[in-house]
C-alpha cells in the first residue's frame, strides 16, 4: 500500500471526440458534490456521494466520501511503519473510488504546506504525500481531514454526459457535510441541500 501519488491529470480527450466538444459550455463543478441517482442502480457508484477535486476540459477527478473500508487509520499506519500517538483519533478509511485503490489521498483543511498538496477549493486541499500521514499520526496534522484509498475519474466530456443522462445531481459542497457528518448520513444530507429526500428519488429524476 503506497501513499504517494500526484493528483491525476485524468484521461486525455480523443481527437474528434463529439462529447469532448461540449466541454466548452460545461459548468465547472470543482468543489461540488455529485449525488448518485437511482439511475446508477448497481456497482461501485450506487448510492455514492463524490467530492469533485478537479473538473476541466480534460475530464474530472473526485473522491467518494460516504463509503468506508474495513481498515482503520491505525492499521494503515502500522502497514506503512509510521509510529502513532495513542491519543490520535483512529480515523476511518474511505473507499475513494475504483481507480488505483492501493493509493492514498487526504482531503483536508486548512491547506498547510504538505509536499504533495494541491488546492481544490478555497481552503480545501488534496494531498497524496507521506508527510501529512506522519503529521496526523503525531497529532500535528490539519484540523479537518478525510483519508481515502482510490479515486473516481472521468474522461473529457464523460461526466457531463452522465449528468445529462440523470445519473448525478450536483450541489456545491459544504465543509460541515464533507468533514463532520457521519459517513452513512452524508448522501442524505447532500440531498437535503437540494431540498430532496434521496430515498424518494426515482430513476427518471431530473438533474440540478
| Largest distance between two CA atoms of the chain | 56
User: What pLDDT score does 22 carry?
Assistant: 45
Low-confidence ranges of the chain (pLDDT < 70): 1-27, 203-208
Q: How far apart are CA 140 and CA 7, in angstroms?
A: 23
Cis omega (within 30 of 0) for bond into 151 = no
In the numeric block, which cell numbers belong to residue 152? 473516481
Q: How far apart are CA 58 and CA 149, in angstroms?
A: 23
CATH H-level superfamily of 20-104+150-196: VC0467-like (3.40.1740.10)
In the numeric block, which cell numbers belong to residue 154? 472521468
Contacts of 65 (CB under 8 A, 6+ apart): 49, 50, 51, 94, 96, 107, 146, 148, 178, 183, 186
The half-sphere exposure of 150 on its side-chain side, counting CA atoms within 13 A, is 19
User: What pLDDT score does 205 carry?
Assistant: 54
User: What pLDDT score does 200 carry?
Assistant: 87
How is the chain split into domains, by residue range? 20-104+150-196
For residues 127 and 117, is the Cβ–Cβ distance under 8 A? yes
**Helix 130-137 and helix 73-80, axial crossing angle in degrees, nearest 10:** 120
pLDDT in tens, 49-100: 999 999 999 999 999 999 999 999 999 999 999 998 888 889 999 999 999 9
User: What pLDDT score does 184 carry?
Assistant: 94
Amino acid at each position: 500500500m503506497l501513499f504517494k501519488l500526484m493528483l491525476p491529470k485524468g484521461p486525455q480527450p480523443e481527437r474528434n471526440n463529439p462529447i469532448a466538444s461540449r466541454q466548452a459550455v460545461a459548468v465547472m463543478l470543482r468543489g461540488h458534490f455529485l449525488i448518485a441517482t437511482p439511475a446508477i442502480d448497481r456497482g461501485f457508484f450506487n448510492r455514492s456521494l463524490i467530492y469533485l477535486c478537479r473538473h476541466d476540459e480534460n475530464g474530472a477527478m473526485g473522491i467518494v466520501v460516504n463509503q468506508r473500508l474495513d481498515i482503520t487509520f491505525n492499521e494503515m499506519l502500522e502497514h506503512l511503519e509510521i509510529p502513532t500517538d495513542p491519543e490520535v483519533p483512529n480515523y476511518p478509511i474511505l473507499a475513494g473510488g475504483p481507480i488505483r485503490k492501493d493509493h492514498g489521498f487526504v482531503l483536508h483543511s486548512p491547506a498547510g504546506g504538505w509536499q504533495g498538496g494541491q488546492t481544490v477549493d478555497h481552503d480545501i486541499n488534496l494531498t497524496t504525500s507521506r508527510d501529512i500521514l506522519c503529521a496526523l499520526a503525531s497529532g500535528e496534522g490539519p484540523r479537518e481531514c478525510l483519508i481515502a484509498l482510490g479515486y473516481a475519474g472521468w474522461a473529457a466530456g464523460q461526466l457531463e454526459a452522465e449528468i445529462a443522462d440523470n445519473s448525478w445531481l450536483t450541489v456545491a459542497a459544504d465543509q460541515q457535510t464533507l468533514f463532520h457528518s457521519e459517513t452513512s448520513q452524508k448522501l442524505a444530507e447532500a440531498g437535503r441541500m437540494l431540498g430532496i429526500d434521496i430515498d424518494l428519488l426515482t430513476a427518471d429524476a431530473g438533474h440540478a
